[in-house]
Amino acid sequence: MSLINPQAVLLPGDMAPVHLLLLALLCPLIDHCDGACAEVDSDTEAVVGRGFKLGCISCKRRSEVEAFATVEWYFRPTGEADFVQIYSYNEGVATIEHIDFSERIDWNGSKRSNDIQDASIYLLNVTFNDSGTYQCFLYRTLSYDNNFQKRVIVGKVVHLTVVAKATRGTASIVSEVMMYVSIIGLQVWLLIEMIYCYRKIAAAGEEALREAANAEYLAIASESKDNCAGVQVGE
Ligand SMILES: *[C@@H]1O[C@H](CO)[C@@H](O)[C@H](O)[C@H]1NC(C)=O
Ligand SMILES: *[C@@H]1O[C@H](CO)[C@@H](O)[C@H](O)[C@H]1NC(C)=O
Ligand SMILES: *[C@@H]1O[C@H](CO)[C@@H](O)[C@H](O)[C@H]1NC(C)=O
């Protein structure tokens, strides 16, 4: 009898997300962990004179399939028609293919492995001439168990603008303004509601007092009337 009961290893369907979540949380602690691959889009705004990471992530559909990949990056400056190759990465060997980028590109992708899923590069000392369209290509060979190999090419595009100073995205400004508007709006609304309720309660209280007084007066009046009647009857 085997020690591991296969049924205990199989996870029920609704346990899988929890399992994945745990895996995602633990992944930074584990060295070889493919479960954490996520295709995050690259930033698209670089500041002149600084460094910039051109992101290019392509996750494997099935992380258990072994793969080998090489990477090529191409660039088309704004206003030009053609792409030129600027960089290649093959079995850990990085080559800068264009003079404009010499000594200005560092590998920022997957390390210690030829199974590249992150093909990002780092651009040093960005100039205005670097704005344009970048394309990365991953040439991936997938090796399946039965000696079957499959080649796939994945391409991604990054439209880069170079600015003199870091600007904040409009979306971020709009959302900050909206946050203040909604906080102040809600507080004002709460205040108005409080005043309104206070006045309503106060008015209702006065009304109730008046009614109570009236009721008392009437009660006394009718009581005295009754008494009077009683007295009259008694006479
Ligand atoms: C990318 O490369 C730059 C320059 O070599 C380095 O400073 C940076 O830490 C790298 N980032 C990552 C995530 O590897
Ligand atoms: C990038 O800029 C730094 C600081 O300005 C400079 O020391 C370095 O030589 C520059 N590198 C390249 C490749 O231009
Ligand atoms: C940018 O390109 C122009 C025209 O090709 C060139 O004259 C200039 O020196 C370049 N600037 C930088 C910082 O490389």
pLDDT, tens digit, 9 for 90 and up, residues 69-103: 999 999 999 999 999 999 999 999 999 999 999 99
Asked if 25 contacts 85 with a C-beta cutoff of 8 angstroms, the reply is no
Pairing type for strands 149-163 and 121-123 reads: unpaired
Residue with the nearest Cα to atom 10 of ligand 1? Answer: 108
Per-residue pLDDT tens over the stretch 172-191: 889 999 999 999 999 999 99
Mutate to test the pocket of ligand 1, among 108, 112, 116 (most ligand atoms within 8 A of CB): 108
3-state helix, strand, coil in the chain (%, to 5): 40, 25, 30
Alpha-carbon distance of 76 to 157, in angstroms, equals 11
Tell me the CATH number of domain 3-167, given options 3.10.640.10, 2.60.40.10, 3.30.565.10, 3.40.50.10800.
2.60.40.10
What does pTM read for this prediction? 0.63
**Whether the CB of 129 sits within 6 Å of ligand 3:** yes
Alpha-carbon distance of 176 to 168, in angstroms, equals 11
Residue with the nearest Cα to atom 14 of ligand 2? Answer: 125
The backbone torsions φ and ψ at residue 11, rounded to the nearest 5 degrees and listed phi first, read: -95, 140
Residue 52 has pLDDT above 80, yes or no: yes
